Every structure is written in structure tokens, then in C-alpha cells.
Amino acid sequence: MSDNVIQFPKVYRGKKDPVIEEGIIEVRDEMAFLNHLTEGLIVQMVHNMGENGIYTHSEDFVKDLSFLVEVVKSMMYRDVEIHHPIQDLIEALSTTNLDKHTNQVYSQLDMEMIEKVSEILLDPEDDPDQE
């Protein structure tokens, strides 16, 4: 060994590595993959919509799209058993039935419930912060 080579210590004596609970890295990686997949799906959808005459640059479109992005992520998160807050909303606003003859699953949004929730959320008279 030559005299001008410095050997670094084998054990790092600086900050300790953070303790990472088992599985957190895998969940974070899974979420990153699903977020990337969602982005790709949404980009394709918006491009297709634009090619078919849908105006994709309005404020309302962007609001609707941001909601849709979260719903798509929620669908895929549920498949790998990761919780997303929109899953709770979907559970509250939909009903699912199984057709015993065809073994098909059918789901339906409760539009009356959606209207009630919207009225509650959008009625300024019921907002305690407005008083």
C-alpha cells in the first residue's frame, strides 16, 4: 500500500441511520409507482379528449381533473391495500350489488346523497365560520 492513500473507517461515526419500520419503504415505492401510473393514464386521457374536441384548459376542467386523479389513485391504492381518503367518500356515496345469475358486480352512486352532501358543504348559512 502506498503512503498517500487514506483508508476510511469501516464504521460511520456520524449521524445514525433513521430507524425505518418494516414495510414503509415498500409502501412508499408502491405509491410512487401507482402515482406515476396514474399520471400516465390521465395524460393519455386528456390528450385523447383534446383530440376529440374537449376543451381541456378551462378552470372547471382542471378542477374536475384533479378530483379524477385522486379517484384513480384511490382505485389503485385500494387494489394494493393502501388507504386513500377518497375511498371513504366512495364507500359513503355508493352501493354495490352482486347479480347472482351472472356473477357480475354492479355499483351505483347515490345521487341524492351527493346532492345532500353538496348542499351541506356549499350552504354558507350552515357554515359556523361565517357567523
For 28, the domain range is 22-83
- Distance separating alpha carbons of residues 131 and 128, to the nearest angstrom: 6
pLDDT tens-digit profile of 87-130? Answer: 999 999 998 888 889 989 888 989 999 898 889 888 766 555 55
Q: What is the pLDDT of residue 29?
A: 86
Within 8 A by CB and 6+ apart from 56, the residues are 46, 49, 50, 65
Residue 3's pLDDT band, with cuts at 50, 70 and 90, is low
Q: What is the pLDDT of residue 28?
A: 84
69 and 35 in a common domain: yes
Split into its structural domains, the chain has a count of 2
What is the chain's mean pLDDT, rounded? 83
Is 76 part of a structural domain of the chain?
A: yes
pLDDT tens-digit profile of 42-69? Answer: 999 999 999 999 999 999 999 999 999 9
